[in-house]
Chain A
Amino acid sequence: MKTLRNKTIIAELVAVILTLIILAPFFLIVINSAKQSADIVISPIALPHNWAQLLTNMKNVINNQNFSYWNSFFSSLFITMVSLMLLTLLSSMAAWVLVRNKTKWSNLIFMLFVSAMVIPFQVVMLPLLSTFRSFSDFFGIQMLQSYKGIIFAYLGFGGSMSVFILHGFIKGIPYELEEAAWIDGCSPEGTFFRIVFPLMKPVQITVLILNGIWVWNDYLLPSLMLGLNGRIKTLPVAVSSFVGSYVKQWDLILTAAFLAMIPIIILFIFAQKQIIQGMVEGAIK
């Protein structure tokens, strides 16, 4: 029994040390965000002597022209929220039709969605830019450097995996439920919105979390579609453009990184169980 206790104590010690190592970068961000440039040069590991500097740095970064924190924060928030709402709604609708309407066509479309999950962004990004550009020129619908363009792109890229995950879940919903509603005189769209859609909630949360983390953190797609110094910037794009214009000014760069991380860390503190579960379930499927 004693050896078992000892082992547990060693394991606990290891766990504590690992946690400290893994979280060390976050600690370094916080302490160095509260220093002036000169203090970082003297020692990047010493504790700051004046924590009020953190607020000063934050104020400087938030009001900075290249970063414009609140603008980028709300752009990121808007793009993520609208993409997620539409993605969940539209892919639930599409997945439901693909499951319940058993024809050659729905099989083909479903196979297309599944195989598209292999396509990396790199292979479509260059033609996507030119397609969107000619689309804007021809139809007069602004697709680049606009909210509707980037949300449209996220729907296209997020759709295939979302449909795949939702498809698997809908197959498990008993068809008798829908039949009963149908017999009671419910229209097909009524059946979907009143009966099927509410039942899909648990898996929709998975879809929301997986896509949410991806869209919020994505850099390559917004940097190409919105431009590094465009009218609209997401947070990762803003950080990158900020780093580009303040090379080696680590006090400001780390404060910018700190500000960019805060929203998602706060979200994680409140919903860690759902977030971890959602991301893991998405991977296993």
Chain B
Amino acid sequence: MERVTKRVVSIVLLIVGAVLAITALYMDITGSANAVRGNLLIFGVILLLSGLYFIPTANHRNIINFLFLFPLIITFAITVLLPFVLGIFYSMTDWTGITFTKFVGLDNYIQMFKKADYLYSLVITFIYTVLNMIAVNITAFALALLCTSKVKGKNFYRAAFFVPNLIGGLVLGYVWQFIFNKVLVSLFAGSMSMLADANLAFAAILIVGTWQYAGYIMMIYVTGLQGVPKDVLEASCVDGANQWRTLTKIKMPMIANTFTVCIFLTLVNSFKQFDLNLAITNGAPSRILGERVVNATEFLALNIYNTAISKNQYAMGQTKAVVFFIILAIVSLTQVSISKKREVEM
């Protein structure tokens, strides 16, 4: 395009875009309920951006930089950054999900730690996280050894073990609820459903959590184990090391990094467990704790959800969520510092 036509096109687009956007904003501010104003604004902004694109200038590269970054940053700012900052603020108010009337400082946090259901949920989430991390990693590593051994049809087994991970926890959770309530009860005639007992229900979620996640972690271990150089393994074989020694003295130290990745990945994901928890037990059964009755298997993510959505205590739910975030941030920072330390050593 000619420079002059470019200039004309860009000026026209910019002016029309600005007029549309300003009209829409004017309608917003004056409180108009006209449904057109939303589309007017979107259209105006698009025209403005394309007008910007056609400006004939030596700084075209800068305009492109802006245009390329703009869409993602605006979605990120509105869906993540803004709610995050607002959320921390709301946790210090008496927010109802719509408005708040006063600033209460750290009062919500103090109240929260006095609630039996929260403390119980915090404790069992920690226990679940650690147990699930151990169970998933041991299972996954064993499966990975199996899938890198001389077994025929390794690729088939890998795919088969991986399948549970493809399907959402919610759908699988309902299926497992069926298995615990119907199938196992009929297999072991006269037995009670695992989900009716507080401890066994906890174990049930642990079993399903391991079942679902182990195949995924296994694949990461497989990738790690395949990265161990062949000549090192041959050397150890020549030196007469048996399989157990090769495994513990060579393979495992060489994939230490993979262990760190897998351990932290399972820690974070177990801590965030929500879908399975909701679908298998939804917190049930109840457990009597002193004089209080709490939900025996309500992990933190579900506790946050129930506090806010079911009990309509938005400020309290948000406060719990902020603490939830802080714990996860500490875990992630620990992982980063461990990986950094290892990089320095290497």
Contact = CB atoms under 8 A, between A and B. Distances in A.
B143 A18 contact: yes
B182 to A, nearest CB: 5
A97 B68 contact: yes
Contact of A127 (B72, B90, B164, B301): B90
Contacts of A155: 71-72, 75-76, 79
Given A25-B172, A122-B301, A101 B86 contact: no
B240 to A, nearest CB: 15
B160 A265 contact: no
A43 B220 contact: no
Interface in A248-285: 250, 253-254, 257, 260-261, 264-265, 268, 272, 275-276, 279-280, 283-284
Main secondary structure on B side of the interface with A: helix
A242 to B, nearest CB: 9
Contact of B69 (A109, A116, A139, A152): A109
Interface string B147-182: 101111100011111111111111110111011001
Chain B interface bracket (under 10, 10 to 19, 20 to 34, 35 or more): 35 or more
Contact of A284 (B87, B215, B261): B261
Interface in B119-138: none
Contacts of B186: 43-45
Interface string A38-65: 0010011100000000000000000000
**Which of B82, B84, B150, B171: most chain A Cβ within 10 A?**
B171
Given A118-B328, A140-B34, A15 B146 contact: yes
Interface string B297-319: 00001001100110000100110
Contacts of B60: 187-188
Chain A contact-residue range equals 35 or more
Interface in A1-35: 8, 11-12, 14-15, 18-19, 22-23, 25-26, 28-29, 32
Interface stretch (B9-17, B37-45, B108-116, B286-294): B37-45
A197 to B, nearest CB: 11
A203 interface: no
A213 B164 CA distance: 12
Contacts of B272: 120, 122
Contact of A124 (B24, B33, B80, B174): B80
